[in-house]
Chain A
């Protein structure tokens, strides 16, 4: 702020800052508020805390329902991520190699799982998968989650490929490297930050997906978000706060990884490669 500001300007300056800080508080506080409640010894989800205890975590880890839903999520999400990332990276490479007729339409289709309302995806897949006998199977769930994760992989990897210098691939090819070697030894290491962040997005999408799962999964495939949905709907207990705290820890880890990847990517670009 300049030292010659009029009182009105000062008021405006601080009001503006206060407003912005308020918005940040609005964004972050709900997430922070639920963490201490998971260590509350009473069974009420309210402050002040009655005492500190780990009993809700014990309850969580002792519950078959919760543990099997966590297991299911860790089966479905990595498989869906692998599918989405592999296909998505290949397609992103193809998309950035030049123009072809109908490119805009293809791009539109590849991104559409991100914008089509999830209920519509869920009901459509419910009808279609029932005919293909994929309803209430892990495979069906993995296919569905992979489709939902694809747009994120496409967006992040194409963005990273914008900064990729195709002369490097040409140099490798002119030195006699076959296309696959060129991809794995030259291109992939350089676009790895984009591929990993795309994979993280795809993982988060699958790990948090509830609507489509509600339509496609039987109790045997019940995923963690589905279990949480049921828990919140019936009665919201401190066990929910405990699992929420674990999920927040997971999102902090993912956020830190993304930040690290972003810096790495900037450094790579800064070094002129």
Chain B
């Protein structure tokens, strides 16, 4: 009653063809994966892991546990209601003695200083009045010499800094902090929300300007005969291929107070005093629009190139005013290109660092500047990583939207 073997065609060696086909397909797929694997491994090692390190550093809190391991271990299981007992103070004295010998007191002092600003001097004071290694009643000696160790809030701060992970840098990136009672409160003196707002705002303005400049130009280039449009396209592509620093330098030369634009305007008698066009927001906007404009023009151009002219012509011949026909018939067909171009421009603008750093003033710096600042200047890597992580999350969310959008346009183009 077994009918299947005879129903299936067999290959020469007696294996059903279906099985052989599946085997062949599987090995084909595996070979495809083997071709991708080297690059994927390379990128994971040289790109994905470094970025994961950054994300990890945003919550990582190992400085104190590394610098004062004995105290941190002794404090484990502390209920937080009373000043810790003698063993913790013995561990504290031992740790501080080790740090003094190694000359590494700076790291825990800096970390504890983030929690309570006076903690740094408490540590140095304790260091000077350290009891002898074999002293009895270390707790009383230390508290007598440095009364802060008898205050609960210092120990609570120490405990917070001793945890392996901390939300403090991420909270600080949105102007929040944990107060001494463990509640999340607004930090009035911090301005990171403003800086994020500024970053999103500058990127938005730049994207909008790019769209307003690029849309008509892309349309014109798409309806011109190829011989002309190819020639004009050089004006778009040459800036695209030119070094960012060359373009930045060019804008400084053009915009500075003795530069061409001010000189020209003064010679024409339009202005008496040179305008401040550089090292402020105006300079940042002008140069960023110039640098990002090709990223808007190119996707728009490629979408517009694929739009047949008949639809608008049909609408006009049916009596629509040319503007109405353009708005109701042409523009909707370009929405996908507009979306892709705007998102790409916005994503790229969010991460700008060089242009604002060279052409902007202190109030025009974007999040990237502060990431670099905390990495290189103040060596506060937790803060740099937290700011970077938030910027990364914002960028990746937009990137996912962009991927969906481009994917959809690809499909609609194939129909």
Q: Residues of A with Cβ closer than 8 Å to B?
A: 9, 16-17, 19-20, 23-24, 26-28, 30-31, 33-34, 37, 44-47, 83, 87-88, 90-91, 93-95, 97-98, 100, 104, 106, 108-110, 112-113, 115-129, 131, 143-144, 146-147, 150, 204, 207-208, 210-211, 214-215, 225, 228-229, 232-233, 236, 240-241, 244, 247-248, 251-252, 254-255, 258-259
With A98-B29, A215-B375 known as contacts, the answer to whether A91 contacts B51 (CB < 8 A) is no
Give the 4 A-B CB pairs with smallest separation, nearest first. A117-B351, A94-B35, A124-B50, A128-B50
B248 touches A232 (CB 8 A): yes
Flag if B36 contacts A91 (CB, 8 Å): yes
Contact residues in B for A112 (Cβ distance below 8 Å): 47, 396, 399
Number of interface residues of B (CB under 8 A): 84
A sample of 14 inter-chain contacts (CB < 8 A) reads A30-B290, A31-B246, A33-B250, A87-B42, A112-B399, A115-B402, A117-B351, A117-B353, A121-B47, A123-B384, A127-B381, A208-B244, A241-B249, A248-B246
> How far does the Cβ of B394 sit from chain A's closest Cβ, in whole Å?
9
> Would you call B28 an interface residue if the criterion is a C-beta within 8 Å of the partner chain's C-beta atoms?
yes
Decide if A26 touches B290 in the complex (CB within 8 Å): yes
- CB–CB B260/A47 < 8 A: yes
Given A97-B28, A210-B354, A91:B293 Cβ within 8 A? no
- Min Cβ gap B194→A in Å is 19
Given contacts A23-B217, A119-B371, contact A247 B39 (CB under 8 A): no
Bound-state Cα–Cα, A228 to B244, Å = 10
Annotate B232-272 by CB proximity to A: 1 below 8 A, 0 otherwise. 10111111011111111111111000111001000000000
Main secondary structure of the interface of B (DSSP, over half): helix
* Residues of chain B having any CB pair with chain A under 8 Å: 28-29, 31-36, 38-40, 42-44, 46-54, 57, 213-214, 216-217, 220, 230, 232, 234-239, 241-254, 258-260, 263, 290, 293-294, 322, 347-348, 350-354, 357-358, 368, 371-372, 375-376, 381, 384-385, 388, 391-392, 395-396, 399, 402-403
Residues from chain B with a CB closer than 8 A to the CB of A106 are: 36, 40
Are A255 and B216 interface neighbours, CB within 8 A?
no
Q: Is the CB of A121 within 8 A of B51?
A: yes
CA distance A207 to B244 in the complex (A): 10
Residue of A nearest to B389 (CB): A120
Q: For the complex formed, measure the closest distance between the CB of A193 and the CB atoms of chain B, giving whole angstroms.
A: 16
Do A108 and B403 have beta carbons less than 8 Å apart? yes
Contacts of A9 in B (CB 8 A): 322
